[in-house]
A and B are shown apart, each in its own frame.
Chain A
């Protein structure tokens, strides 16, 4: 029973490490999304679609981006939602 208690102790330690890593990673990502507010962002999407828009906000599950002044190949859409599944990557300058 000593070995099981040691095992569960190191399990607990491992869990704490993982929780800490997850929270540092997540906080950095959330701060990055916050920093994008009102920035001009370029989206590289599937099917070689490239668009530019002013970033508004993201939902917390990173499923949708809310953007304004979306410049699409066929014109400008004033307000839009972009499905994150359609996006390969996006970039902006600080």
Chain B
């Protein structure tokens, strides 16, 4: 924990995320995290590329 406290914030949050995943998915954590990373990457890339706008503009359900 001494090491993580001096690590940059992004590294610390990645560590926290990995620990969270381990708690949720046990031995399969790395596999699920890899699949999620691939999916989020393609979502982020598509959003960067296509700049989609929310539809409808106002949420139907608040």
A and B touch in the complex (CB under 8 A): yes
Q: Which residues of B contact A70 (CB under 8 A)?
A: 55
**B3 at interface by CB-CB < 8 Å:** no
Q: Which of A26, A34, A85 contacts B59 (CB 8 A)?
A: A85
Residue of A nearest to B42 (CB): A57
Q: In this complex, which of B28, B50, B54, B56 has the most chain A Cβ atoms within 10 angstroms of its Cβ? A: B56
State the majority secondary structure of interface residues on B: helix
What are the 10 closest A-B residue pairs judged by CB atoms, nearest first? Answer: A19-B26, A23-B28, A79-B52, A57-B43, A79-B50, A46-B60, A86-B60, A80-B55, A60-B36, A23-B25
Q: Is A7 an interface residue (CB 8 A)?
A: no
Using C-beta atoms within 8 Å of the partner chain, give the interface range for chain B.
20 to 34
Query: In the complex, how many residues of chain A place their beta carbon closer than 8 angstroms to a beta carbon of chain B?
Result: 35
Chain B 25-44 interface residues, beta-carbon cutoff 8 Å to A: 25-29, 31-32, 35-36, 39-40, 42-43
Partner-B contacts on A (CB < 8 A): 15-16, 19-20, 22-23, 26-27, 30, 33-34, 45-47, 49, 51, 56-60, 64, 66-68, 70, 72, 77, 79-83, 85-86
Give bound CA distance, A49 to B39, whole Å: 27
Taking a contact as CB atoms under 8 Å apart, the answer to whether B25 and A80 are in contact is no
